[in-house]
Amino acid sequence: MEEDLALGALASKDGRAYLFDAATVNTKNRTGSHPGEVSGVALDLISGNAATAGQDGVIRLWERGASSDWVLERELAGSGGWIWDLDISPSLGLLASARADGEVGLWKLSSGELDAVLGGHQSAVTKVAFDPAGEVLASASRDGTVRLWAAEGGSPLAVLEGHEDWVQALAFSPSGDLLASGGREGRVRLWDVASGSLLVSWPAHGGPVYGVGFDSAGERIATAGDDDSVWLWGVAR
């Protein structure tokens, strides 16, 4: 639905997540509360439903209601401590969770079953992201690496090394052939997904990079940092 493509979601320290209209930034829905900070929220752009997780280590799945609140559909048993991030692949019906114990959880949305646990990181996993085709899953960690996995089955594909500190931001290009990562050292790195090779790296901010994202054409990257700035960068191919 075109309406759902213009939606965004935000996690909040008040224990809730908020759905908003990306065009007007007006709040449309909110979830019920977790007993602690919410640090991960993922939106299914097909259904408009959402998943939330955070400090309590429990994943909650929400159905988008007609009123101002989402309706709790299911809770997924917590494990691995604090969950820092979530992402959904609508095409595969999978939910990925970034866990404080250094592992990535893969869940089946239809049944709520844990499909796989992906191990390899040496510290907390901070971000997870599916590529647009739902074929590759990327995970970032406080160990300074990014790992690529087959989204279906979870087999390891590549380890991307080079960041000097925590990696806290990930984004695939719309075509899925590029991956941008942002680190606590203030640098952004651009990777070729097929080969796992580093294409370019540059100092983007005077502090940690908290967010990266491509425009719809894949020609520019937006970055947000701890220095209270947002920058736009051209993508050289």
Residue 106 inside a domain? The answer is no
Residue 48 inside a domain? The answer is yes
Residue 209 inside a domain? The answer is no
Residue 25 inside a domain? The answer is yes
Q: What is the pLDDT of residue 8?
A: 63
Residue 65 inside a domain? The answer is yes
Euclidean distance between the first and final Cα of the chain, in Å?
32
Residue 60 inside a domain? The answer is yes
Please tell me the pTM assigned to this model: 0.88
List, for residues 1-52, the tens digit of each pLDDT value.
223 445 566 666 666 666 665 555 455 566 656 667 787 888 887 777 888 8
Q: What is the pLDDT of residue 53?
A: 87
Kindly give, in sequence order, each residue whose CB lies less than 8 Å from that of residue 70, ignoring residues fewer than 6 positions away. Answer: 19, 29, 30, 31, 32, 49, 50, 62, 63, 64
Assess contact for 183 and 163: CB atoms under 8 A: yes
Domain containing residue 5 = 1-77
- The burial of 129, by beta-carbon neighbours within 10 Å (0-12 exposed, 13-18 middle, 19 or more buried), is given as buried
Q: How confident is the model at residue 54 (pLDDT cuts 50, 70, 90)?
A: confident
Q: Is the pLDDT of residue 201 over 90?
A: yes
Strand, coil or helix: what is 42?
Answer: strand
Taking alpha carbons only, the member of 186, 189, 190, 188 closest to residue 225 is 186
* CATH number of the domain within which 45 lies: 2.40.10.480
Taking alpha carbons only, the member of 204, 197, 141 closest to residue 168 is 141
Q: What is the DSSP letter of 123?
A: S
Average pLDDT in the chain: 86
Residue with the bigger pLDDT between 137 and 57: it is 137
How many domains does the chain divide into?
A: 1
Residue 15 inside a domain? The answer is yes
Residue 27 inside a domain? The answer is yes
List, for residues 60-102, the tens digit of each pLDDT value.
898 876 666 778 888 887 666 889 999 999 889 999 999 999 9
Counting Cα atoms < 13 Å in the Cβ hemisphere of 139 gives 37
